[in-house]
Amino acid sequence: MDTGKLQYLHAVSVAEQTHNNTTSWVGLFPIQAFEISKGQTFETHTEGDLESIEVFSNLITKPGHLELSIHQFDPLEKKWSDAIGTTSVEVKKSDEGSWMKFNVPSCHLVKGKHYGFKLVSHDCLIGIGEAMGSSSNPPLTNGQEWKFSVNGQHTSFSYCSLAFKVALKAA
């Protein structure tokens, strides 16, 4: 299922992966009482001020507060910097099956650099659209999906990608 391309009159797409054939969970799992955070890395092909990041919401089992942070990312060392920008949205059941937009103020992205965003929630449970590929045919060649757990462990998946759109303000 292709969930659509970025279409703005006032913004420029800098990175996106809009294919969606499975679901990746973010938030608090109520029965087992543990949190899962997800992230996505990408490379920019344009320089400018970040306008927004959107993720596709497949399912919302528990509404709540969803936080997004943006980071510089070192693809060789696979290291995330401290957050260079943060924002949040209140997730409602009516957001299910749509693109959820995070406006990220005061964040400049440099052409050719790698960045990543993390999604965290302490009270909601949301299924984010995800594209599953294979090691020989990844959905995104210049980025990876990441999984973070509260004990500090993290794992990257080069054959998976969240469904996302990154837009810069037009010059």
| Per-residue tokens: 35 | 């949190």
d(CA 81, CA 165): 21
Residue 9: φ, ψ to 5°: -90, -25
Q: In the predicted model, is pLDDT for residue 5 greater than 60?
A: no
Q: How confident is the model at residue 171 (pLDDT cuts 50, 70, 90)?
A: low
pLDDT score of 145: 87
Q: In the predicted model, is pLDDT for residue 153 greater than 90?
A: no
Spatial neighbors of 90 by CB under 8 A, at least 6 apart, are 63, 64, 65, 66
**pTM to 2 decimal places:** 0.89
pLDDT score of 10: 66
Domains of the chain from N-terminus onward: 11-169 (2.60.120)
Tens digits of residue pLDDT in 68-127:
999 999 999 999 999 999 999 999 999 999 999 999 988 999 999 999 999 999 999 999
Chain-wide mean pLDDT for the chain?
89
d(CA 83, CA 162): 19
Tens digits of residue pLDDT in 15-71:
999 999 999 999 988 777 778 899 999 999 889 999 999 999 999 999 999 999 999
